[in-house]
């Protein structure tokens, strides 16, 4: 969890800062808010107090909060976000002016700064504003801009505040460790289906959220990520920041195998979080089956074992991470799968509980690596689980590189 200081400027888009706080909190970060006095005309301080648990800091000479406590804001934070950042804020920051609480904290802050500018198009395009932006960018300040569109004044053009979800994702990327920089990671997510006829199929409750969270986090940590999204994950793609991720979509287990095997040639780490169907129909009907009989008999045959196929062809320099969805004897079954499919580690989760695993926003997992004791993570949001798992993937990858470096 990181500590984020949000500075809210006096713009009509200030109300979106409330949603930004919520988005940042959902990512697990602690957020404190400061406002310019005029920003309070656009959104009330009590609104921020209601979602952060404390009143935002506004006045440098607030009688309730001594002056020195305001200096501590810049020392407390890991990242400073200015949203919305008005032309006035950009000018002060570029020229080292500090005549209010927000500008004082911005100058005193020594960490990374993310600016989400918002103003009228004519103001944004003014040479003075663009010169200030260039000055700040040259000093390492990061900017995130919204798409051109209709502004509050009715004009059409640049200057809109970026969406809160996009700002939160940008902040999260800045804070993420780059411990997977340059590592090529292939992630599979979601459940495949076994078609019965053109309108019916056999499937499972997997939503793919766990795999999508892993792909999102791996990209954020610097990896080159390819995602194979199985059928049930397609509707979840928009819930995650997958910018920069190469995405392939598959429906059946045969298609999953056909997508994964060729991709392994350019892969360092496979995280197989998908839930492929274990069986397929021997002869799916090319036409819709009519409901004419009391019973319907289907002949099922084993579907391809994707992990086993990959494990049989793996290179020694690759890492293979599998998942085991279990309802009983979790460690026993997980350990058996780990060795039988030639994996380096396996993630075991209990799909017999309704509050975790398939269809849930949270998960509770056990990480089991070869020649190591199991590690358990209590119930947590799947994004937090993804980061926890990738910490261990990064550790395994670093260990794997030591012999290679020594040999070189």
Closest by CA position to 79, among listed 146, 27, 42, 118? 27
Q: In the numeric block, which tokens belong to residue 43?
A: 């959104």
Do the Cβ atoms of 387 and 365 come closer than 8 Å? no
- Give the integer Cα–Cα distance in Å for 365 and 376: 6
Give Dmax over CA atoms of the chain in angstroms. Answer: 81
- Nearest 5°: phi and psi at 291? -85, 85
- Tokens 């407390």, residue? 76
Closest by CA position to 310, among listed 242, 228, 371? 228
- Other CB atoms within a 10 A radius of the CB of residue 244 amount to 11
Extract the runs of DSSP E, i.e. beta strands, from 118-272. Answer: 142-143, 149-150, 156-157, 184-189, 194-197, 200-202, 224-229, 246-249, 269-272
- Give the integer Cα–Cα distance in Å for 291 and 49: 59
Q: How far is CA 259 from the centre of its chain?
A: 23
Extract the runs of DSSP E, i.e. beta strands, from 72-134. Answer: 79-85, 113-117
- Active-site residue 230, yes or no? no
Do the Cβ atoms of 94 and 117 come closer than 8 Å? no
Percent of the chain as helix, strand, coil, to the nearest 5? 40, 25, 35
The C-alpha angle with vertex 179 and arms to 173 and 185, in degrees rounded to 5, equals 85
- Give the integer Cα–Cα distance in Å for 58 and 6: 12
DSSP 301-354: EEPP-HHHHHHHH--TT-EEEEEEEESSSHHHHHHHHHHHTT-SEEEEEETT-T
Given 1, 153, 308, 331, which residue is catalytic?
153
Q: In the numeric block, which tokens belong to residue 161?
A: 């505040």
Q: Which residues are catalytic?
A: 153
């Amino acid at each position: 969890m990181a500590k984020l200081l949000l500075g809210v400027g006096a713009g009509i888009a200030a109300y979106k800062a409330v949603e930004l706080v919520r988005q940042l909190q959902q990512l697990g970060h602690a957020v404190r808010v400061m406002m310019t006095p005029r920003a309070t005309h656009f959104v009330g301080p009590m609104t921020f107090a209601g979602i952060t648990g404390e009143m935002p800091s506004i006045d440098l000479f607030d009688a309730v909060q001594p002056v020195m406590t305001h200096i501590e804001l810049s020392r407390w934070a890991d990242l400073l976000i200015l949203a919305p950042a008005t032309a006035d804020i950009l000018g002060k920051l570029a020229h080292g002016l500090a005549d209010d609480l927000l500008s004082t904290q911005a100058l005193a802050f020594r960490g990374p700064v993310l600016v989400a500018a918002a103003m009228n198009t004519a103001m944004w395009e003014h040479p003075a504003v663009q010169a200030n932006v260039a000055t700040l960018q040259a000093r390492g300040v990061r900017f995130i801009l919204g798409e051109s569109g209709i502004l509050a004044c009715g004009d059409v053009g640049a200057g809109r505040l970026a969406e809160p979800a996009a700002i939160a994702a940008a902040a999260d990327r800045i804070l993420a460790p780059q411990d997977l920089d340059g590592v090529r990671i292939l992630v599979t997510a979601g459940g495949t289906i076994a078609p019965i006829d053109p309108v019916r199929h056999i499937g499972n409750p997997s939503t793919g959220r766990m795999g999508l969270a892993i792909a999102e986090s791996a990209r954020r940590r610097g990896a080159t990520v390819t995602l194979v999204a199985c059928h049930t994950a397609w509707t979840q793609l928009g819930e995650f920041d997958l910018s920069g991720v190469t995405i392939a979509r598959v429906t059946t287990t045969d298609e999953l195998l056909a997508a994964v095997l060729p991709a392994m040639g350019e892969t360092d780490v496979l995280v197989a979080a998908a839930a492929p169907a274990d069986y397929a129909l021997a002869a799916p009907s090319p036409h819709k089956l009519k409901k004419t009989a009391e019973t319907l008999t289907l002949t099922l045959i084993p579907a391809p074992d994707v992990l086993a196929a990959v494990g049989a062809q793996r290179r020694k320099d690759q890492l293979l991470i599998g998942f085991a969805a279990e309802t009983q004897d979790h460690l026993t079954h997980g350990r058996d799968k780990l060795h039988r499919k030639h994996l380096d580690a396996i993630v075991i989760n209990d799909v017999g509980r309704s509050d975790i695993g398939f269809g849930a926003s949270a998960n509770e997992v056990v990480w089991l690596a070869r020649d190591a004791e199991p590690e358990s993570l209590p119930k947590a949001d799947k994004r937090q689980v993804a980061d926890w798992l990738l910490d261990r993937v990064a550790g395994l990858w670093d260990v794997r590189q030591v012999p290679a470096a020594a040999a070189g």
